[in-house]
Chain A
């Protein structure tokens, strides 16, 4: 079974702090994604990565950056956390694109910025 592990289930941070969210997958997937999920809205793509050291902006990249130094690990960085970044963050991975290729998700990190 594919396993996508997010390092923290819950995080509480203060405004202005630098925040690291870590995601690791164990299936040698090329593609990895970071989303945020807010009540009443669909998942919104923050960043994705085609492969190691490759990254592309999604729909809402402002205030975020990412790092993919190893194939299995994709990190989301909040350079200076703000209250409007309080959200559920979901990481996903999948093999190279194809119409039938599905994304596998981690359990999510619920981040509260005070």
Chain B
């Protein structure tokens, strides 16, 4: 069964600290993996997209990694800010059409001052 599992479910860290969120998937075949950020009460916003051949992608203080062999991805946030408080969602596509995306349940990140 195609699945995307994210850990931890929730995380609280102090402002300025780094953190890493995990995503494991069992989707096959694999086309690409995306990370989205969803602020409370808003729709998700794309952070990164990685295809099979890409193993690292950065977007400012966000760095995503992909290991297609072990089917794992991580999202590392550096020097966290209060505005990073949000849910982070991992999404995997099994084909280039991307009509059927497998969504993880998300990690809820809270940054405390």
B residues less than 8 Å from A100 (CB atoms): 32, 49, 51
Q: Is A90 an interface residue (CB 8 A)?
A: yes
Using known A-B contacts A99-B32, A99-B98, determine if residue A41 contacts B43 with beta carbons closer than 8 Å. no
Q: Is A34 an interface residue (CB 8 A)?
A: no
| A97 and B42 form a contact (CB under 8 A) | no
Query: How far, in whole Å, are A106 and B38 apart by their CA atoms in the complex?
Result: 11
Q: Is A77 an interface residue (CB 8 A)?
A: no
Which one, B31, B43, B46, contacts A99 given CB within 8 A? B31
State which of A42-50, A63-71, A78-86 sits at the interface with chain B. Answer: A42-50
A residues less than 8 Å from B101 (CB atoms): 43, 45
| Best-surrounded residue of B31, B44, B97 (most CB of chain A within 10 A) | B44
A residues less than 8 Å from B42 (CB atoms): 107-108
A residues less than 8 Å from B88 (CB atoms): none
| B43 and A42 form a contact (CB under 8 A) | no
A residues less than 8 Å from B41 (CB atoms): 107-108
* A→B interface (CB under 8 Å): 4, 31, 40-45, 48, 56, 58, 90, 92, 97-103, 105-108
24 pairs, A vs B, C-beta closer than 8 Å? A4-B43, A40-B105, A42-B4, A42-B89, A42-B102, A42-B103, A42-B105, A42-B106, A44-B103, A56-B99, A90-B44, A97-B97, A97-B98, A97-B99, A98-B96, A98-B98, A99-B31, A99-B49, A99-B51, A99-B96, A100-B32, A100-B51, A105-B45, A108-B41
